[in-house]
Structure 1
């Protein structure tokens, strides 16, 4: 059977929860202080992506191979953000492909379909973030035309801080 990229539906929610949890675990492995890993992350992702799939300004798509969901992507339209100096844009939040389906172009197909669907919602650009240590994803996105624009930096708060008094 050929690979099919399609909108996620309610029957995909268990797979979305499993794959979303795998994505969360991978990020947590990259930097456990930066990326949260809530208890029962599968249920959380299943519920979150199920709700998002029903929003008119969100896109949740899956890659299906031989009748089995092997990847997903999630993004949505975001309004003007003065803090980020970002005009209305598509925000490409998640991309996951199961190990058995990697290196065959599934991720690129999901990314291109996400771009197509978000721009069809009227956004002038799509912005995404990748974990600093996720170099394979960065290379793929660069091949597809994304360019680096920001670098996120994180610093943990000291164990105990005194408030800075104003003078």
Structure 2
């Protein structure tokens, strides 16, 4: 087994991380066209990455094998609305590993480092989104103890010439989401691919687009993000 080194990401790691993210986004879109990344997704991800590196409530770790960056993980501290007993939780938006570096323990090493960071901040639950069609991601998250909690479903809304609205009412603009959004939601400006949660290196990616809890109520997700893992 190769020696895996995990460290905090630096701005100069951007090119290597972006390469991993680009590969993951292409793989995710091939797996499920509904991901449908924008033409400028790669550039937007770079902006997102720099913001996370500078954000005091976020952390970005990279994994190296032989001195080369082969994986990345991003975690953020999030807050829920006051009606929930659990007010703070860790969110794993990205956990990606280069295909050639999978099955070397990279994904697991990144996941363990994220949980250590969350624990140090008094966070006792971690959540993530997992691509439903990624067997690798779901297997990885299951291997670290993550359990499905919320299932995010998809329904295509019929075009205007489809079935009439049962209520017969005119369409109204969607209401603005309250600050903080729904528990587990990604901000509208969060470019992380599907929450980019995939564990391409340690075991396999997450669960069906679901949030999960694992171990001591901690779980992880990769950017299917994310993206397949192995131990």
* TM-score over 0.5 for the pair: yes
| Structure 2 Cα separation of the partners of residues 81 and 39 of structure 1 | 34
Normalised to the residue count of structure 1, the TM-score between the two structures is 0.88
Unpaired stretches in structure 1, ≥5 consecutive residues: none
Matched, 1:61 2:76: no
| Counterpart for residue 165 of structure 1 | 169
Give the 3-state SS of the residue equivalent to 1:148 in structure 2: strand
Q: Greater relative contact order (Cα 8 A, min sep 6): structure 1 or 2?
A: 2
Task: Look up the match of 1:123.
Answer: 123
Distance 1:58 1:66 in 2: 26
TM-score computed with the length of structure 2 as normaliser:
0.65
Residue aligning to 1:3? 4
CA distance in 1 between counterparts of 2:86 and 2:134 reads 24
Native 8 Å contact 1:52 1:60 kept in 2: yes
Deviation at 1:145, TM superposition (A): 1.6
Per the TM alignment, residue 114 of structure 1 is displaced from its structure 2 partner at its CA by: 1.2
Q: Distance in 2 between matches of 1:137 and 1:82?
A: 32
CA shift for structure 1 position 83: 9.5
Q: Which runs of 5+ in 2 are unaligned?
A: 171-231
Count of aligned positions? 165
CA distance in 2, matches of 1:25, 1:58: 25
How do residues 118-157 of structure 1 correspond to structure 2 at under 5 angstroms?
Answer: 118-157=118-157
Q: Equivalents in 2 of 1:140, 1:83: separation in Å?
A: 32
